[in-house]
């Protein structure tokens, strides 16, 4: 078993190696035989070491999930979707305006503690199962909102759902490998995400020229494409974006660009995983900066891998270091709700965080 105590020397070693290179490590999954437990353990160790040092990893050579044609399909359909008239897209906005499904217009979201809106519009897709499916609790899962299929938008829906399913498969592999190394139980993390409340976001960052037209003062005054933030979920899987701009804040407090090549993906730790590993894995601050080219648009498709809403987020015994205090158990839905209120995506409706535990 790889314990925290065992990990410390290899973390130090990694920090020296990769900090000198100033690049987030790249892991080629095809080099590991993930059909065997030993192979998955080696793979998990490689991912874990990068997560400990950076909170991020670049992944290539994946045989399952997030294939190039599936990602490209979403980009092609997304271009058509975001080109629709604003009035039409606003019809796909959730009545609660909480951005958990459907369209969110330009200027709707800002990062926690940021006074500036992000320069983006986006479309969110959640778990799509037949209504009445026993796993779906209608009080806790948000139903997807889709563009009018009669107008030829069914391709957008299919492309998004295909990628969503592939992302779930890859997440199970990555979380299983990580769990093996962290607690010797492969199902620890992966079992949390079956029929999970995972959200896929198709994000469009308009050109800066267009943003000026859209901002109230017609000037970009401190706004950037995505303000510094941490992700809320367990892990985020991000297939290659259509252009660069993603940066992470290193432990030296410096912004480090993440560049990807070909079909490379970026995977990062979110706050939930950070919490249940008692901060062994950091949820690293990241942002998307504005481009030099005034006319450059950008599309990206982060998939925020979430547990089922009633999953209990608790630090397992194997990760409880008696010298360090660790956070109490919290239900995934409660944790998500509290963070959504903080970033302004949902009004504080007086939801009682303990109500689910009493049910």
Q: Is 271 in the site for Fe ion (CB under 5 A)?
A: no
CA distance 29 to 268: 16
Among residues 66 and 319, whose Cβ is nearest to Fe ion? 66
Site for Fe ion in 221-240 (CB under 5 A): 231
Tokens 């969503």, located at residue: 164
Site for Fe ion in 145-164 (CB under 5 A): none
At closest approach, how far in Å is the CB of 257 from Fe ion? 15
Among residues 142 and 303, whose Cβ is nearest to Fe ion? 303
At closest approach, how far in Å is the CB of 56 from Fe ion? 11
Residues 6 or more apart in contact with residue 191 via CB below 8 angstroms: none
> What contacts 24+ positions apart, CB below 8 Å, involve 91-99?
91/148, 92/123, 92/145, 92/146, 92/147, 93/145, 94/142, 94/145, 96/346, 98/142, 98/340, 98/345, 98/346, 99/124, 99/345
Within the chain, what is the greatest distance between any pair of CA atoms? 60
- Return the residue nearest Fe ion (CB atom): 231
**DSSP β-bridge partners for residue 255:** 249
CA 281 to each of CA 48, 51, 264, 314: distance values in angstroms, whole numbers, following the listed order: 8, 6, 22, 14
Among residues 42 and 229, whose Cβ is nearest to Fe ion? 229
At closest approach, how far in Å is the CB of 37 from Fe ion? 32
At closest approach, how far in Å is the CB of 24 from Fe ion? 14
Among residues 56 and 164, whose Cβ is nearest to Fe ion? 56
CA distance 192 to 319: 17
Question: How many residues at the interface with Fe ion, by CB under 5 A?
Answer: 1
At closest approach, how far in Å is the CB of 196 from Fe ion? 18
Binding site for Fe ion (CB under 5 A): 231
């Amino acid at each position: 078993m790889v314990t925290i105590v065992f990990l410390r020397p290899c973390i130090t070693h990694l920090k020296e190696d990769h900090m000198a290179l100033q690049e987030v490590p790249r892991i080629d999954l095809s080099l590991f035989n993930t059909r065997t437990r030993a192979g998955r353990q080696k793979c998990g160790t490689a991912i874990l070491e990068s997560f400990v040092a950076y909170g991020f990893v670049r992944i290539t050579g994946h045989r399952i999930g997030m294939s190039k044609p599936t990602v490209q399909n979403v980009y092609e359909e997304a271009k058509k979707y975001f080109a629709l008239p604003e009035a039409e897209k606003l019809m796909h906005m959730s009545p609660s305006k909480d951005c958990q499904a459907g369209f969110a217009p330009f200027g709707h979201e800002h990062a926690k503690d940021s006074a500036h809106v992000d320069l983006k519009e986006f479309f969110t897709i959640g778990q799509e199962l037949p209504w009445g499916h026993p796993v779906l609790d209608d009080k806790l899962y948000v139903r997807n909102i889709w563009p009018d299929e009669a107008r030829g938008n069914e391709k957008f829906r299919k492309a998004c759902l295909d990628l969503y399913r592939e992302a779930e498969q890859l997440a199970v592999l990555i979380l299983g490998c990580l769990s093996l190394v962290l607690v010797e139980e492969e199902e620890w993390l992966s079992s949390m995400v079956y029929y999970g409340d995972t959200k896929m976001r198709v994000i469009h960052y308009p050109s800066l020229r267009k943003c000026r037209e859209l901002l109230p003062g017609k000037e970009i005054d401190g706004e950037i494409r995505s303000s510094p933030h941490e992700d809320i979920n367990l892990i985020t899987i991000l297939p290659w974006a259509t252009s660069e701009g993603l940066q992470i804040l290193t432990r030296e407090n410096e912004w480090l660009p993440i560049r990807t090549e070909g079909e490379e993906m970026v995977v990062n730790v979110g706050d939930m995983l950070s919490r249940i590993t008692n901060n062994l894995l950091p949820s690293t601050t990241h942002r998307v900066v504005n481009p030099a080219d005034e006319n450059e648009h950008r599309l990206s498709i982060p998939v925020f891998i979430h547990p089922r809403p009633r999953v209990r987020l608790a630090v397992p015994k194997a990760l409880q270091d008696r010298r360090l205090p660790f956070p109490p158990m919290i239900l995934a839905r409660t944790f998500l709700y509290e963070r959504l209120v903080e970033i302004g995506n949902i009004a504080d409706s007086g939801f009682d965080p303990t109500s689910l535990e009493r049910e």
